[in-house]
Each structure stands twice: as C-alpha cells, then as structure tokens.
Structure 1
Amino acid sequence: MLRRELLASIAAFAAATPTLGWADEPGLQVGAPARFDARSLIQRAREMAAESYTPRPKIPKSWRDLTYDQYRKIWFDSRNALWEGTDAPQRVDVFPPGLYFPQAVAMFEVEDGIARPLLFDMDVFDKTDKFPDVEIDDTLGYSGLRLRAELHKPRIFEEYAVFQGASYFRGIGAGESYGLSARGLAIKTGDPEGEEFPDFIGLWLERPTHGDDTIVVHALLDSPSVTGAYTFHITPGEVLHMHVSAHLFARTELRHIGIAPLTSMFLFDDTNRQRFDDFRPAVHDSDGLLIHNGGGEMIWRPLANPKTLQISSFVDVNPKGFGLMQRKRALEDYNDLEAHYHNRPSLWVTPGEGWGKGAVALVEIPADLEVYDNIVAYWRPAEAIPAGSEYQMTYQLDWGADPAPTSEAEPMRVINTAAGARPEGGRVFAIDFAPNDHMPEDLDTITKVVTTSAGTVTEGILQRNPATGGLRLAFTFMPEEAKLAEFRVQLRLGDAALTELWLYRWTTT
C-alpha cells in the first residue's frame, strides 16, 4: 500500500476573468470575486452530502501519463507566489497537476470576506526542455499548495507545510525535514474490502495581516461516504501548531472512520535489523506510537514492520492525546546523510473536547522499501455515525522534535527497544528508559512488571545504562507454541508508574 502516491482532488468551482499580477513575473492570476465565510462552506458540505457522489473530471491524459522524472522537470517559480511583493507575512506556492495527481484542487484567496479563485496558468511554472508537450484545457488546475513564512530571517520565506494529494498534508517545525503526514479523514483503513480516500476538493486561504503569525486555511472534503468542512489555524515556529475544526456529513453509515489520522514509514531498527542488508542502523520516519489515555497512563508502543498486516486497537474513553513520534534524533542513529531521518518531526494530536468511547488504532503494513508509507494511526469512535447525520470535532496538531506535553510527574521515557535471538533459544528484548528526577538510587526498590499473553517471559534484569544515564530492562521470551504474543512491561515505584507502559506485539509472520 503506497501511501505517498495517492490520487488527489477536484475540478474548478467557477469560471472567472483573470487579472494579471506584478510586472516582472505574471504572478498567480485570480478570478471573479464571491462572498465567502466558514459557515457558507459548512452549508455547502451539508448540501453536497444530500446529493449523490459525483467524481470530479480528470485532467488530460498527457498530464496523467507523466513519468516521475518528467514531473520533476516542471516546478513553481516562487517569484509568482501568492502575496509576493506585499507586506503579508506568508507566501503560498502551488504545485502542477499530473502524475499522482489526476484531478485539480480548486484554490481561493480570501480577503475581507471575499474569495477569488486562483486560475491555472502555465506561466507561473519553470520547466526544462525535457518537459513534454501537454494538453491545456479547462479541467486543469493546481494539485496542491505550499506555505512559507519568515522562520529564521526577515524576508526569507521558508516552507513549513504542504497540502497535496487526497486529504493529505504535511508539516515541520522550523529547520526540520519532511517526514510523516496527516490527513483530513481516514475511512476503512485496513479493511479487507479496501480503503476509501476522501479528497480535499477545495482550499480557501485567508490573507493574514501584517504581523500576524497565523494563517487560516479552509478545506472542503468529498468522498462517496462523507463530505466535510475543515478550518485550519496554522502557526509556524520551532513547533508548528495547527488547530483543526471539522464538520462531517455522512452520506452513508460510517462504521469505520479515523479521526486525526497520521501516516508514516517504518522499515527497520534494532528490533528487526537482521531482515535488511543495509549500511544504515535504522530507517524510519517514526519509531513509536505514544498514547496519553483517558486514565492518565502514558503508553509507548514501538512500531514494527510485520510480515503480515497487523492492526492494534487501544480502547479508551476521552483520550488526552496520541501521536507518532521520532525519538531517535542523532545523525548516528541512522547514518544517512541524505534522508536526514534524525531531523524528521514527531506529530502529537490533542483532542479539543471529550471524544467519548473509542480506540486509538494502529495499522502496520509490511514494507520492503522506505518509499512506502506503511504506518497509520488514528482515533476510531466506538459508535457508527448514521447516514444523514452530522459529526463535529476539534483537535490540535503539533509538529516538532518533541511536541507532546510534559509535566513534572512525567514517567521515564522509552528511548530504545532492541531484540534478537538467544543461542540457547528464545528472544531477548532490551528496553532503555531515559533518566529523570524520579529515578531512585536503589534499583531494588523498583518493581519490574513483565507479562505476556502467550509463551513465557523471564522476570527481567534491570541495570543502569552508563551511555544514557537511565535504566535498561532486559528479559527473555520463550514463544513455545505461540504464533503471536502481546507484551506489557513497566517499572513501578510502589503504586506509581516510574516509566511509560511499554506495549509490544510479537508475531512469527
């Protein structure tokens, strides 16, 4: 399942008369004005849900048939960016259609309650003489957008977020490299009958005023099962903050949806290094799922690249947050001078209200190459959403090196998991915990909790790790006849948790 290569969005919403941009370059051209506000977008989504789903027209075949190398021969000239040459604190670039993006996304500039469509114009792109001749017609539009702001120096606008492909978007904290993605909505992820990918078919960008750090982006979502209206308040910085408000309208009964879905890549680390003949010690965009559940537990679930599809469900009521994290952050952890996996962001989800009963779902898909996004995590409500009904939610997305909230009572974090075979049989697991102020001098006062759902485990050996300053717990697992086992490991001081709760699924296939 190739999560990075998804088909995207929509046809144009209205015909319009172009107006030229500034003199040196054409600039992005805009069309006829129309009134716009968030309430009208919600009403538009509500009306669409009452109608049958109609797929948007595809762009010409000459664009859809572009190869990867050909698509790289055309790119946006940033001198044509939206709001270039103005005092607006943000810049917006657009991406060409084609390749993995066979439909256009309608885009609008919004100022003082007036929306003007961004009209497709080949002149805003640069291209080499190797870019083939392509057909130009009224189905064409841009495939997505990139946001830029002054992150480090005045008048130097650096990118920090991209919206492109279905309902996918990516973000980074200042100075980071792109890694994992988020989506507007996931439907039937991992289901045998196949997944449904809703599209953001339109994007509305409110022009920020001079000195305003936040940009507001509205999105219209459409798919056979559901429509939706989204509003993003996006503030770049060392940690990129996105406040998301969404109104969903069910065309059909929604039995399996994913709220705040996150998509990432995990190929190998110290748990499965032996399966890959690679000079690098690890390859992944994220190394674990972190959950702060409604009961106050901090759960760390190391990610895996299984040999068969694995779906895990962490049942909860009103979760406090969850996210896909990249905790290994040293170059030597990956030894990759090009991919910069040590600089990929983590992404934390904080619900804006009580989400009730449900589960954090984790989908792990087998992968043999790092180009495949094979990890998905999301919140799955316990109750189905009936056809014809409306569902609302808000949440915060924080992108950065370590965006999860912390407190003085925070347990010792898991910083590494390693596994391997023992010559005498079984497998050894070694879990490293980072030091904190609650780590006692006397290790005998610590209770080791090591359990398995199948096979047998040893009590474990607890030692100080001089390399980390923290603790290492190592235990041996004997599978016996088991094909699958769920481990639950934690260090405790009396009745209190000293460490995060380490959960892991072991399988033979």
Structure 2
Amino acid sequence: MADDGNIGACSGFLLVMRLIFNGNFFSHFHRCVLLVALLLGATAGAAHAFDFDDVAARARKLAAEGYSKPQKNLPKALTSLSYDQYRDIRFDPAKSHWRAEGLPFELAFFHQGGFFDTPVRINELQGTAVREIRFDPSLFNYGKNNINPKELGGLGFAGFRVHYPINTPKYKDEVIVFLGASYFRAVGKGQLYGLSARGLAIDTALASGEEFPQFVEFWIRRPKPLDKELTIFALLDSPRATGAYRFTLRPGIDTVVDVKARLFLRENVTKLGIAPLTSMFYFGENHRPNIDDYRPEVHDSDGLSVHSGTGEWIWRPLVNPRRLLITSFSSTNPGGFGLMQRDRNFGNYEDLEAKYQRRPSAWIEPKGNWGAGRVELVQIPTPDETNDNVVAYWVPDTPPKPGAPLDLEYRMLWQKDSDRRPPLAWVTQTRRGHGYRLKPDDSIALFVDYDGPALRKLQPDAKVEGMVNADGNAKLLEVTTYPNEASGGWRTAIRLRRIDEKKPVELRAYLRHNNTTLSETWSYILPPE
C-alpha cells in the first residue's frame, strides 16, 4: 500500500501531520495511530459539562415524538398503601447523598408507593460526568409495613429533597422537595411547608379536564465544599407538552429559586399556566362559613398579590366559594404575582400543631418581558383544610405553536417576614360582618384595614378618603374611612346591598390623600350566595 494512497477521512489530518512532522518519521500505520490519539484528545478536550441546552435538546426531541405514558412498576405490596402506611416508609438520614463527603448540601429520596406509582430518574453531575443515582431498598426503613425489600429491586425513586442549614449551622434543614407530577415546594428560615409550586399547568379548571405534566428526569450538579447554591435540571413531559428546566436554589432567610424554562407543545393547548402556585384557603376573617371551629382562621395563603405592568399593586383576599370561582387580572409585562400569607401572628390561627403563621408566601418575579396575558386565580370549594383549593398562574395571550420553543425565566421568593408588597401602604386584613345594629337588615358590611409607611406619616386628622367602587350588582350604602388607633393604620368601613343573590359582586377600593394614591388596590369578590 503506497504511503500517499487514498485513506479516506484520515487524509486531511495526515496532511496536517505531514506538515508538522515533515512526513519523514512516520509510516502510514504510525500516522493513523497518532491520528486516533489526537482525535481522542480532541474529543476529551471538547467534552463539556451537562447544561440546560442538553435538557432542552431532549425536550425538543420528545415533543417531536408521540407521547409515551410512564410505565407503572409497583409490586402489589406497594400499590395499596394508605397515606399513613406510605409515610411510614422513611429514608435513612445517615445515608443522605453527599453526607459522607461533608458537602454543604445533602440529598434524601422518596420511595415509590401509593399514588407515586412511576419512577423518576435522578442523576448526579460532576464535571463532565453524568451518573445515575440508583434506587436501593437499604436506603429506607419500612416501619410497620409488611414489605420484603428483596422484592423491590426494580423500583426507582418517586422524588427527592434537598437539605441545607438555614436555621442553625449545626443542622441541615429540608429546604426544597420535588415530589409528584411537576410539584415542588420550598421554605426559608423559620418557615414551615405550606403552598406548592409546579413546573407547568395545562387547562386548569376547564370542563375538558386538567393535564398534569410530570418531571420525568432530574440532573443535580454536585456542589463544591463552599457552595451556597445548588443547580437542578429537570425534564418535563406530558401528552401535550415537554419542557426543560433549570432551578438555581439559594436557601436563606428568603429562599430564592431562579427558574429558566424552555417549553415545547406537541399540540395546541387551550390554557397554558406559567409559574403556577397551589395553596389552601379554608376560612378567614373575611369569609367564615358556618363552621364550628375554635380557630379564627385556617389557610396557607390569605390573598393574591399582583404587581401589574402599569405599576399598580392589587390585593385580592381569598375566599372558599360554594361553586368554582375563576377571576383574572390582565397585564402586559407584569412586575410579579404571588399567593401570600400576610397574617403572621399566632393569634390569627391559635393552632399549635399546624402553625399557619409560619407558612411561606411565594412570589413570582418575571425576568425579561413576558408580553400580554393575565394572572388567573382559581378558587375551588373545599369542605376542610386537607385540600389545596387555590391556584394562581400566568396565562400568555399568545401561546406558542406546536414545536416552537417558549423561553421563560423568573425568580421565586419563598418569604415570611419580608413579603413583596407596595412601598406606600397595603391591606393588612379584610373583615366581613356587622357589629351591633339596632335593626339588622339585608346589607353586607366589610372592613378593610391598611398600613404602611405612607400612612404612618399622616396626622390623625388628615383627610384620607376611601375610594370605593362596586359593579352593577351592588348598591353602596355607606363608606367611612378613619384612623385605626390600635394598629396605627387606617380603616375603611363599607356597607352595601347585593341586588341579585345568585350573582357575584366585585369591589375595588384604595386610600387617597390630597388627590394622591396612598395604598395598593383592594380588589374583592363576594361569591354568589
């Protein structure tokens, strides 16, 4: 075989080698051997760490294919577990991932069982390496359950949680958990788990039924010894949508989660819910049905806060309606929205076990321009506090076409004492009901309290007006605004009469002083009686 013969794909590289080595020292065989070594070296040099674009490529590929429903793999012993039986399967903290290495973050895992009947693949990223974290029954204690760990070899994990010290450096607290569909929730310092977030909501509260996308695979970057943040990638899949997500977790007084997402639709979707939040409202001072309960209030969140693209701040107190109630606030490029827990005193709840005063608020802060759309609030009747019956999310006016990417970024703040709120004044509580009246009538009374720096600067004799508007289903009978000497803020008392009991009433109010707006807008819905 001639030294300069045709050698296909090797010829270009051999020419380079010839120029370097003058063609005098290497036979064709030795040149090819060196070429292979160079190619291997080039490949190693070109290797890159797994990142968001890798997940996005998988999501795009999935979207171009038909949907494959995840296969259930539970043995009989795990399919019929009750809620308490499932909770009796506990991960062994001594076997937490990264504990032996003394890293700042640790991972713990959830066992499959009951409702969690499909496995979620979980991978660890270290440098350019991707390694699956495999299920092992020895990581769990099965409690009183009659389960033979030897029969569980083919299972996976249902989800995972992350631990990091936020309350004391001596203990790693649970700070975020991913478990079920695309649900996750987080806490900051001094907080207890309350409301949840989701990766995506599809057709929420539509008669056609809601679709629940699922995180099917995670990649978690191994932290360095001094890291204060953790990066988590996730692949989302559902019959009509796929998505790539990057979560950058920074635990602290306010736990921050920066989210980057790229979504692809397989089919058109009627309602696409971006950055959905899910919470519980049973009853409060503004809406207390005939319930025999010693507690003044029971809820994980007491209102929806919206910072519109025009700069207006809106507060909508939550209710527990008798029928499904859907309302929304249109906006272009919103400043943010969230389901908030503003009542922070133990006396608001008097519950020594649930400690609702420590449940976090969750604030969504868009990055970049989200365009035109609406913040939608769904409130569902619930007979008790065990059901999440409140959902809020952003709906873009123009959803992406099937196959076209939708890129979004936003920041999530899990807060307690530093909730996002307007700079001047805000609503602190809404109370419904009459005080003493000599002749009770069919009117409705509402009392709205405000507080904030702008009100604290006013003199008690300042002329503050409560500007109240009602829709066509109500007649305003009385509006009075006066200082609240107990709190240092101001109160507006409203009395009205509903015209049609079968229809809702929508009210809006704010405080004004010398033609200057002092407060956020109180936006209230009286559900049909």
Q: What is the identity, as a one-letter code, of the residue corresponding to 2:511?
A: L
8 Å Cα contact 2:320-2:382 kept in structure 1: yes
For residues 448-467 of structure 1, the aligned pairs below 5 Å read 448-453=466-471, 454-467=473-486
Q: Secondary structure at the match of 1:241?
A: strand
Please identify, of 128-137 and 284-293, the stretch whose mean Cα deviation from structure 2 is larger: 128-137
Compute the RMSD of aligned alpha carbons: 1.8
Could you tell me which residue of structure 2 aligns to residue 485 of structure 1?
A: 505
Instruction: Say yes or no: does 1:472 pair with 2:486.
Output: no
8 Å Cα contact 2:460-2:483 kept in structure 1: no
Q: 2 CA distance for matches of 1:228 and 1:138?
A: 30
Counterpart among 414, 420, 423 of residue 427 in structure 2: 414
Counterpart among 444, 469, 480 of residue 427 in structure 1: 444
Q: 2 CA distance for matches of 1:58 and 1:134?
A: 18
Cα distance 1:124–1:333, how it changes in 2: closer, same or farther (>3 A)? Answer: same
Deviations 1:175-224 (A, max 9, x none): 21100000000000110111000000011110111111000000000000
Counterpart among 464, 489, 502 of residue 446 in structure 1: 464
For residues 311-330 of structure 1, the aligned pairs below 5 Å read 311-330=326-345
Q: 1 CA distance for matches of 2:210 and 2:344?
A: 33
8 Å Cα contact 1:88-1:210 kept in structure 2: yes
Shift in Å, 1:312? 0.4
Cα distance 1:306–1:362, how it changes in 2: closer, same or farther (>3 A)? Answer: same
8 Å Cα contact 1:492-1:499 kept in structure 2: yes
Instruction: Say yes or no: does 1:232 pair with 2:252.
Output: no
Shift in Å, 1:227? 0.4
Counterpart among 152, 163, 168 of residue 148 in structure 1: 163
Cα distance 1:107–1:38, how it changes in 2: closer, same or farther (>3 A)? Answer: same
Q: 2 CA distance for matches of 1:38 and 1:481?
A: 54
Q: Secondary structure at the match of 2:171?
A: coil
Q: What is the identity, as a one-letter code, of the residue corresponding to 2:254?
A: V
Q: 2 CA distance for matches of 1:460 and 1:182?
A: 38
Deviations 1:449-491 (A, max 9, x none): 1111122113411122222111111110100235211101111
Q: TM-score under structure 1 normalisation?
A: 0.90
Shift in Å, 1:73? 2.0
Shift in Å, 1:84? 0.9
Counterpart among 495, 502, 519 of residue 499 in structure 1: 519
Could you tell me which residue of structure 1 aligns to residue 414 of structure 2?
A: 399
8 Å Cα contact 2:455-2:489 kept in structure 1: no
Shift in Å, 1:154? 3.1
Could you tell me which residue of structure 2 aligns to residue 11 of structure 1?
A: none
Could you tell me which residue of structure 1 aligns to residue 528 of structure 2?
A: 508
8 Å Cα contact 1:435-1:471 kept in structure 2: no
Deviations 1:109-165 (A, max 9, x none): 111021111111110001224444478356511111111012233342111111101
The gaps in structure 1 that reach 5 residues or longer are 1-33
Q: Secondary structure at the match of 1:46?
A: helix
Q: What is the identity, as a one-letter code, of the residue corresponding to 1:154?
A: P
Q: Secondary structure at the match of 1:458?
A: strand
Q: What is the identity, as a one-letter code, of the residue corresponding to 2:476?
A: V
Q: 2 CA distance for matches of 1:97 and 1:237?
A: 30
Q: What is the identity, as a one-letter code, of the residue corresponding to 2:69?
A: P
Shift in Å, 1:369? 0.9
Q: 1 CA distance for matches of 2:292 and 2:75?
A: 39
8 Å Cα contact 1:346-1:403 kept in structure 2: no
Could you tell me which residue of structure 2 aligns to residue 52 of structure 1?
A: 66
Shift in Å, 1:508? 2.2
Shift in Å, 1:388? 1.6
Instruction: Say yes or no: does 1:381 pair with 2:399.
Output: no
Q: Secondary structure at the match of 1:150?
A: strand
Q: What is the identity, as a one-letter code, of the residue corresponding to 1:466?
A: E
Shift in Å, 1:316? 0.5
Q: 2 CA distance for matches of 1:102 and 1:377?
A: 27
Q: 1 CA distance for matches of 2:332 and 2:488?
A: 35
Q: 2 CA distance for matches of 1:378 and 1:91?
A: 31
Please identify, of 122-131 and 499-508, the stretch whose mean Cα deviation from structure 2 is larger: 122-131
Could you tell me which residue of structure 2 aligns to residue 158 of structure 1?
A: 173
For residues 84-483 of structure 1, the aligned pairs below 5 Å read 84-133=99-148, 136=151, 139-405=154-420, 410-420=423-433, 423-439=440-456, 440-441=458-459, 443=461, 445-453=463-471, 454-482=473-501, 483=503
Deviations 1:380-437 (A, max 9, x none): 0011321121100000000010454467xx1311111011257222110000112424
Cα distance 1:404–1:153, how it changes in 2: closer, same or farther (>3 A)? Answer: closer
Q: 2 CA distance for matches of 1:83 and 1:387?
A: 40
Q: Secondary structure at the match of 2:167?
A: coil
Cα distance 1:457–1:111, how it changes in 2: closer, same or farther (>3 A)? Answer: same
Shift in Å, 1:71? 1.0
Q: Secondary structure at the match of 1:119?
A: coil
Instruction: Say yes or no: does 1:37 pair with 2:51.
Output: yes
Q: Secondary structure at the match of 2:151?
A: coil
Q: 1 CA distance for matches of 2:308 and 2:461?
A: 28
Higher helix fraction: Structure 1 or Structure 2?
2
Shift in Å, 1:88? 1.5
Q: 2 CA distance for matches of 1:459 and 1:450?
A: 10
Q: 1 CA distance for matches of 2:150 and 2:469?
A: 62
Deviations 1:200-254 (A, max 9, x none): 0011110111111000000000000100000000000010000000010110112
Shift in Å, 1:438? 4.2
Q: 1 CA distance for matches of 2:144 and 2:128?
A: 42
Q: 2 CA distance for matches of 1:58 and 1:117?
A: 20
- The percent identity for this pair of structures is 39
Q: TM-score under structure 2 normalisation?
A: 0.87
Specify the structure having the higher radius of gyration (Cα).
Answer: 2
Deviations 1:59-110 (A, max 9, x none): 2242221111221221000111110121321000001111121111100111
- Number of aligned pairs? 475
Shift in Å, 1:494? 3.4
Could you tell me which residue of structure 1 aligns to residue 87 of structure 2?
A: 72
8 Å Cα contact 1:353-1:394 kept in structure 2: yes
Q: What is the identity, as a one-letter code, of the residue corresponding to 1:434?
A: D
Q: 2 CA distance for matches of 1:46 and 1:232?
A: 19
